Structure 1
Amino acid sequence: MCLSAVAVVGIMLSTNTCGRGGEQRDVVRLGFAAPLEQYIGAETLRGAQLALERVNADGGVRGRTLELVAVTDSANPERAVRVAESFYTDESVLAVIGHVNSGATLAAATIYNRGLAAVSPTATSPEVSEAGPWIFRVCSSDAANSARLARFALRELGSRAAILYANEPYGRGLRQGFALTFAERGGTLLEEYPYIEGQTTDFEPYLLGIREARPDLIFIAGLDVSAGPIIRQARELGITVPFLGGDGILGLAGQDPVYDGTYVGLLYHPDAPGTTGQVFVAAYRRAYGAEPDHFPALGYDAVLLAARAVSEVGFDRERIRDYLEGVGGRREAFPGVSGLIAFDQNGDPLEKSFAIGRITGDRIELVSIEGGS
């Protein structure tokens, strides 16, 4: 697929100096911030690119070509702030798609709340609900997702759980909600260990303690970059119980047979009730020869929603934010491929479908629907 309309860069390269409210534009420009060198960022960008192509094939936005300026934040909060500053000071950028990691989103929010709307595809931490009036997300919060994962674990996997969690906003939020619901519903929490995402590489000391505790399952609250070594090292130590994780470990699918059988939370599945978008699924298959997961689906939705906002209210940043705030309230809900999007007072989508899948080779087999509209 040609990415000619997307500038994938490490710094902001736009030189457009049109005023923030100016109407004389040849293009409509959206920022895109994600760890482009990681699965989560690359896949979300794929979906964003498909949305961009759809918008432009339909005539663009107010007759102008839609462009994305994609900048890597490497899932690093400090770099995310610099990326946000580059978007904010470039007045040609009307809104931002991103960030995709919770820690990066929370850090960058301090800049966006000066006056640039950001729509995150996948920042699920409960803390994002309080990130500020210019921050929106099209994914459900882990305040709900973690409880759904805990209910599934108790029903299907067992009542004794060990937890490994990344000591950052996403991991802590997912771990907290899972542990609370699991215990409230009669489960027993055994060993719990924090780790540093992308830096901790030797999990054997934790896994030896977990093996001795003999849990029914191990819950990973973190990303695939650490979940992969955790699962591999556990199997090498003879630990055979199932693993369950949130949406952050989805990238394990198709990477190594040792991950087969791992259960993962899904923010979107094409077979889940309340989802639509066979046009999107077909476009993704044509472009990439694979089935889309929730990262491209939510990136697709975020771009189409932002484009709709500009189409409806024009090129003023504050009016774009006000439009987004009213989606599902003063204005009709947005029919995304991941489900109907209607924002509450915190910029969170109201009840959306959430599913549990099981990694089988390069596929995610749909196992269960856990709530949602």
Structure 2
Amino acid sequence: MSGWSSSTGRGWSLRGGVALLVTVAGCAEHAPPRIGLVLGSEGVRAAKLAVADLQAAGGPRVELRALSGAYGSSAQIALQGAESLAVDPGVVAVVGHANSSASLAASQVYNARRVVQIAPTTTSPLYSQAGPYSYRLVGSDVHQARFLVGRIARPTAERLAVVYANDDYGRSLRGMVVAELAARGARPVYQGPYAERETDGTEVVRALAAAAPTMLLWLGRSAFFSRIADSLHRALPDLQVLATDGFGSETVGMGKNPRFTGVRYVRLVDDTLPALRALRARYVALGGVAMTDQAVLTYDAVMLLGAAIRDVGPDREAIRRWLDQLGRGRAPFVGATGAISFTPEGDRAPTYVLVTANADPAPGAGR
């Protein structure tokens, strides 16, 4: 799917009854520059909010061109979507894709076509070598693995189990986490994958129960964990769970699912920042759902590109140079998630926070 209708979905409107539209400006002699978007619904909502905020602040005229149907992990679909955006002369930059596999695949097209790509939550270490037009707003999983293992007070005193999503995200993290554990003299008593689309997690629970760990490192997402949480608790009632950033979701963020209670998981952004707390609260008020880390970082990516277009115009190469200069001759861009600048590899310095599901205030709850 490409383009947008004027409808923004139930619950998404600005205060005062003004519709939250994708197009910031009305008709003009020249069409406004377009930012490509290849994300799921949470990213789309955040991008719309950013475009509306650009308008309210008197920023540049910007439109979004979304390929929501191309946001999955399929490399072929990612390549097709990237090509569609890259050959569109009105698209000056792209925010996406939704995960590391798709971002890596699409980066080949964006770098060949010289289109800036900003990946909000891509964490694969390989992305650092994607090319000079590929940037990301989070650190590599090398840093997350080190952070996660560092939160275990005494790794050698725990019986550790590692369960990981059987995809590029989970397998990559599993290798780095196990290496970090080994460096600290710890070896898991169990390691095993799960498939995201698997509906029956009996085998996973049975294997964990047999291994009898005291701590589970969950390198995956919350949807599958929710399916096995009850039976896992019955089998291992005292099990501690430590999860990576993929665990976060709108459902987890709202703090209403008892199956997630007590799970500690990594957040990619610092929720103590006043600007971020205010943004999350506004997002919840507009849509009734929590603002995930992907949504927050998508918002910052669109605002960042808006600032670039304001300063240097809607030119692909000028936007790339502007991004490269952040923190190196040009002041870092200050977004809701803090100061943004990039290494020569297009990476942002990592920021991680460990939170506890259903215990810490829900993001955007006005804490």
TM-score (norm 2): 0.83
The yes-or-no answer on 1:241 pairing with 2:246 is no
Q: Deviations over 1:243-294 (max 9, x none)?
A: 221111112514631121111100114216xx74455234324313465342
1:30-179 superposed matches below 5 A: 30-34=35-39, 36=40, 42-61=41-60, 65-72=61-68, 73-77=70-74, 78-114=76-112, 115-154=114-153, 159-179=158-178
Structure 2 CA distance, aligned partners of 1:248 and 1:157? 25
SS at match of 1:30: strand
1:29 counterpart residue number: 34
Larger strand proportion of the pair: 1
Structure 2 CA distance, aligned partners of 1:108 and 1:90? 15
Structure 1 CA distance, aligned partners of 2:29 and 2:116? 21
2:22 counterpart residue number: 6
**Residues 184 and 362 of structure 1: is their aligned pair in 2 closer, same or farther, counting only changes over 3 Å?**
closer
1:192-203 superposed matches below 5 A: 192-196=191-195, 198-203=196-201
SS at match of 2:188: strand
1:354 counterpart residue number: 352
SS at match of 2:152: helix
2:182 counterpart residue number: 183
| One-letter amino acid of the structure 2 residue matched with residue 270 of structure 1 | D
Gap runs ≥5 in structure 2: 1-11, 14-18
1:283 counterpart residue number: 282
CA contact (8 A) 1:265 1:356 kept: yes
- The alpha carbon displacement at 1:130 in A equals 1.6
The yes-or-no answer on 1:222 pairing with 2:220 is yes
1:334 counterpart residue number: 333
Structure 1 CA distance, aligned partners of 2:29 and 2:329? 29
**Residues 249 and 217 of structure 1: is their aligned pair in 2 closer, same or farther, counting only changes over 3 Å?**
same
The two structures, once aligned, show a CA RMSD in angstroms of: 2.7
Q: Deviations over 1:341-362 (max 9, x none)?
A: 1200110012x42100111079
| One-letter amino acid of the structure 1 residue matched with residue 187 of structure 2 | T
1:268 counterpart residue number: 269
Structure 2 CA distance, aligned partners of 1:55 and 1:193? 46
| One-letter amino acid of the structure 2 residue matched with residue 25 of structure 1 | H
Number of matched pairs: 338
1:302-317 superposed matches below 5 A: 302-317=301-316
Q: Select between 214-223 and 103-112 the one with higher mean Cα deviation.
A: 214-223
Structure 1 CA distance, aligned partners of 2:301 and 2:329? 19
CA contact (8 A) 1:183 1:189 kept: no
Q: Deviations over 1:316-371 (max 9, x none)?
A: 11221222122222322111211211200110012x42100111079548xxxxxx
**Residues 106 and 255 of structure 1: is their aligned pair in 2 closer, same or farther, counting only changes over 3 Å?**
farther
| One-letter amino acid of the structure 2 residue matched with residue 176 of structure 1 | G
| One-letter amino acid of the structure 2 residue matched with residue 5 of structure 1 | L
Structure 1 CA distance, aligned partners of 2:343 and 2:36? 24
Structure 2 CA distance, aligned partners of 1:218 and 1:291? 26
Q: Select between 97-106 and 217-226 the one with higher mean Cα deviation.
A: 217-226
Identity %: 30
Structure 1 CA distance, aligned partners of 2:124 and 2:157? 26
| One-letter amino acid of the structure 1 residue matched with residue 63 of structure 2 | E
The yes-or-no answer on 1:209 pairing with 2:207 is yes
**Residues 264 and 277 of structure 1: is their aligned pair in 2 closer, same or farther, counting only changes over 3 Å?**
closer
- The alpha carbon displacement at 1:134 in A equals 1.2
| One-letter amino acid of the structure 2 residue matched with residue 336 of structure 1 | G
Structure 2 CA distance, aligned partners of 1:238 and 1:139? 34
Structure 2 CA distance, aligned partners of 1:242 and 1:157? 15
SS at match of 1:353: coil
Runs (4+) off by over 6 Å: none
Structure 2 CA distance, aligned partners of 1:49 and 1:188? 46
Structure 2 CA distance, aligned partners of 1:282 and 1:195? 34
